[in-house]
Amino acid sequence: MSIVIKTEAEIAAMRLAGRLASEVLDFIGPHVKPGVTTGHLDALCHDYMVNQQKTVPAPLNYAPPGYRPFPKSVCTSVNHQVCHGIPGDKVLKNGDVVNIDVTVIKDGFHGDTSRMFFIGESSIAARRLCQVTYECMWLGIDQVRPGAMLGDIGQVIQRHAESSGFSIVREFCGHGIGRRFHEEPQVLHYGRAGTGEPLVAGMIFTIEPMVNAGRREVRELADGWTIVTKDHSLSAQWEHTVLVTETGHEVLTTSAGAPVRPVLQTVAA
């Protein structure tokens, strides 16, 4: 499958889908608190997407080759769950952290984004992991411009995570996105600068580093979807969908309630 370069009309549709995905996270934020189940959060998101936004929840019944259909409308990954957590009876408690990953389809185009949420009073260690992961995502975004290489993104993310004492999950990566949920290219969150595919205006892809507090190794649970850290250490993830513009980049998954961009130190090559 080749990389799809988006037209101006397709970019406009992706802006709308991206904003709507981010607005789902704006909506659900006040509901993410101790005592709530991940299944309840999923139900609230589903209702908001379907009945308020008139969007389609892309994860619901999504079944790539080799997978059973995903049974819910968002992914909720709690504590040592890395990604693809299935909402259910899990009750969130004080000190937990949870990633909520939202992908909507609007007029045939996908908007994909995720955020970390703290449940009550999370530990200093959990907050630091989430902050460093957020910085990793933005450092990667800052590499996006015509003529840069995909490896430039991976290198800065890996360097920042590992220099902070954390590890990068390697089994999952960012991806092209548009009319299809997952397109080319694959966007690795580790690697070497100057390698990989060159970036061209009109490309749209996600940057979504998964960073573990302990070792990088992961495993899949028996549900066929949920990925957890092998050593049971905490994991964090943030995700934005990014457009390569003629002069740099544009983050498509922003909204009024989206977290502000962090203050970043200049990263040496």
pLDDT in tens, 83-102: 999 999 999 999 999 999 99
Q: Measured between alpha carbons, how far is 31 from 225 in angstroms, rounded to an integer?
A: 24
Rg (CA), the chain: 17
**191's tokens:** 């690697």
- Average pLDDT of the chain, as a whole number: 97
pLDDT in tens, 136-191: 999 999 999 999 999 999 999 999 999 999 999 999 999 999 999 999 999 999 99
Given this model, what pLDDT does residue 12 score?
Answer: 98
Given this model, what pLDDT does residue 63 score?
Answer: 97
**Domains (range + CATH), the chain:** 8-251 (3.90.230.10)
Q: Is the pLDDT of residue 1 over 70?
A: no
Q: Is the pLDDT of residue 267 over 90?
A: no
Q: Measured between alpha carbons, how far is 172 from 216 in angstroms, rounded to an integer?
A: 11
What does the DSSP assignment read for 50-106? IIII--EETTTT---TT-PPP-SSSEEEETTEEE-PPPSSPBP-TT-EEEEEEEEEE
* Residue with tokens 């989206």, as numbered in its chain: 258
Percent of the chain with pLDDT over 70: 98
Q: What is the mean pLDDT of residues 216-231?
A: 98
Q: Is the pLDDT of residue 269 over 60?
A: no
Given this model, what pLDDT does residue 265 score?
Answer: 72
* Cβ-based neighbour number of residue 71 at 10 Å: 15
Q: Is the pLDDT of residue 266 over 60?
A: no
Q: Measured between alpha carbons, how far is 74 from 58 in angstroms, rounded to an integer?
A: 8
Q: What is the mean pLDDT of residues 201-217?
A: 98
CA 151 to chain centroid: 18
Given this model, what pLDDT does residue 268 score?
Answer: 45
**157's tokens:** 């993310």
